[in-house]
């Protein structure tokens, strides 16, 4: 930014006025000395010397008053010239100040941009290091360190509101948790259970209500994950764009997925489409709350003998839906819907599911809730 600071011509004018004033004083003195006699000689040419002497004082006063008026006019002109010079000086000072402020703002913006770039470089370097640790197949401790590194890194991205980078950290963690460990192992080895339990704990800690850096409105893709150990995701909250995707997941070998008191709200979703529960596996959705057009989907879930899905005491309302359509239940497998509450336009879809293996004791359906039992049958205002 450049500004013309060339002084205006007020200063030269002021100097000229001073010179003219000095010249005027000199001329005024000469005029005061000569003009009265000339005026009397011109006004009263026939007056005697004695008469002229008496009138000389009056003529001098007339000349003096005239000179005084001229001096006053010159004083006003000088004052105006000085005023213009002061205005011009103030304008130059203000312009200089604005230029300095503009340079300061530009310098601050440049420094802020450089600082932001340095932060991003550091965070991306940390990302590379964390992924490197997570990729070490020989050291469970390094893999755990990699998971924690990605967790803290996502918090730092969140602090500068780079939510796209937060999602990338989440994706790396969930991609690791849903990837098969090794085709050579029929079940997850103990040291790897420790690693994966750490990963699920990180998810849990970022999804509970009092989380400082929440992931509740992010996508957590665990599709195809194999869970043959205990996973604690109780009390988690999903909201808005949040999605917990467990499509095609397998819960087996005494695996337990604990989602007790989960809250899914504001269009968020939990998706178990085509999941499989076998070998004493269990999904615990005790007192789950699905509301505000959110959804819990278990469509085409397969529940094997001696396995179960528990929705005891769950509640669905305000346009929420629990979709259990075409669920397959074998042997003594079961779905527990005891004390389920369906309120305020909430829906439970049991179409094409064998309801004889679903425990509906204590089911409560409000006047504005509904349960779809088949493609053509709908229960409402029902309490068992």
pLDDT (tens digit per residue) in 64-121: 666 677 777 767 777 877 888 888 888 888 888 888 888 888 777 767 667 677 999 9
Of 384, 383, 351, the closest CA to residue 367 belongs to 383
- Cβ atoms of 94 and 3 within 8 Å: the answer is no
Angle of helix 140-159 relative to helix 49-134, nearest 10 degrees, comes to 160
Q: Tell me the domain boundaries of the chain.
A: 10-112, 216-384
When the pLDDT of each residue in the chain is averaged and rounded to a whole number, the result is 86
Q: What burial letters (b/e) apply to 61-100, b meaning 16+ CB within 10 Å?
A: eebeeebeeeeeebeeebeebeebbeeeeeebeeeeeeee
Per DSSP, the three-state class of 281 is coil
Angle of helix 163-178 relative to helix 49-134, nearest 10 degrees, comes to 0
pLDDT (tens digit per residue) in 127-162: 999 999 999 999 999 999 999 999 999 999 999 999
Percent of the chain with pLDDT over 70: 78
Q: Is residue 88 within a helix (H) or strand (E), and if so which, with residue range?
A: helix 49-134
Does the pLDDT value for residue 251 go beyond 80? Answer: yes
Q: In Å, how far are 153, 248, 323 from 296, measured between CA atoms?
A: 30, 15, 6
Of 281, 241, 243, the closest CA to residue 262 belongs to 243
Give 197's pLDDT tier (boundaries 50, 70, 90). Answer: very high
């Amino acid at each position: 930014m450049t500004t013309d600071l060339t002084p205006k011509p007020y200063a030269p004018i002021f100097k000229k006025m001073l010179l003219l004033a000095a010249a005027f004083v000199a001329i005024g003195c000469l005029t005061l000395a000569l003009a009265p006699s000339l005026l009397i000689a011109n006004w009263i040419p026939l007056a005697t010397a004695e008469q002229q002497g008496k009138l000389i004082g009056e003529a001098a006063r007339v000349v003096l008053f005239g000179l005084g008026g001229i001096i006053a006019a010159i004083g006003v002109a000088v004052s105006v010239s000085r005023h213009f010079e002061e205005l011009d000086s103030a304008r130059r000072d203000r312009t200089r100040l604005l230029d300095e402020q503009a340079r300061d703002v530009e310098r601050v913006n440049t420094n802020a941009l450089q600082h932001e770039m340095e932060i991003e470089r550091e965070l991306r370097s940390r990302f590379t290091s964390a992924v490197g640790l997570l990729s070490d197949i020989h050291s469970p401790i390094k893999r755990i360190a990699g998971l924690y590194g990605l967790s803290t890194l996502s918090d730092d991205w969140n602090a500068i509101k780079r939510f796209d980078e937060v999602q990338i950290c989440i994706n790396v963690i969930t991609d690791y948790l849903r990837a098969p460990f090794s085709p050579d192992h029929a079940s997850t080895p103990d040291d790897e259970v420790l690693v994966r339990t750490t990963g699920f704990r990180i998810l849990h800690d970022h999804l509970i209500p009092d989380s400082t850096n929440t992931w509740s409105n992010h996508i957590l893709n665990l599709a195809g994950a194999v869970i043959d150990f205990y996973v604690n995701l109780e009390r988690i909250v999903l909201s808005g764009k949040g999605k917990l995707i467990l499509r095609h997941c397998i819960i087996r070998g005494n695996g337990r997925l604990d989602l007790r008191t989960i809250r899914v709200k504001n269009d968020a979703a939990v998706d178990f489409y085509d999941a499989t529960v076998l070998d004493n596996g269990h999904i615990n959705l005790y007192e789950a709350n699905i509301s505000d057009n959110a959804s819990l989907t278990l469509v085409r879930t397969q529940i094997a003998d001696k396995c179960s899905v528990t929705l005891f005491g769950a509640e669905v309302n305000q346009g929420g839906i629990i979709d259990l359509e075409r669920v397959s239940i074998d042997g003594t497998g079961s779905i527990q819907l005891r004390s389920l509450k369906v309120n305020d336009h909430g829906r439970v879809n049991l179409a094409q599911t064998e309801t004889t293996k679903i425990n509906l004791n204590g089911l409560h359906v409000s006047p504005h809730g509904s349960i779809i039992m088949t493609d053509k049958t709908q229960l409402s205002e029902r309490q068992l």
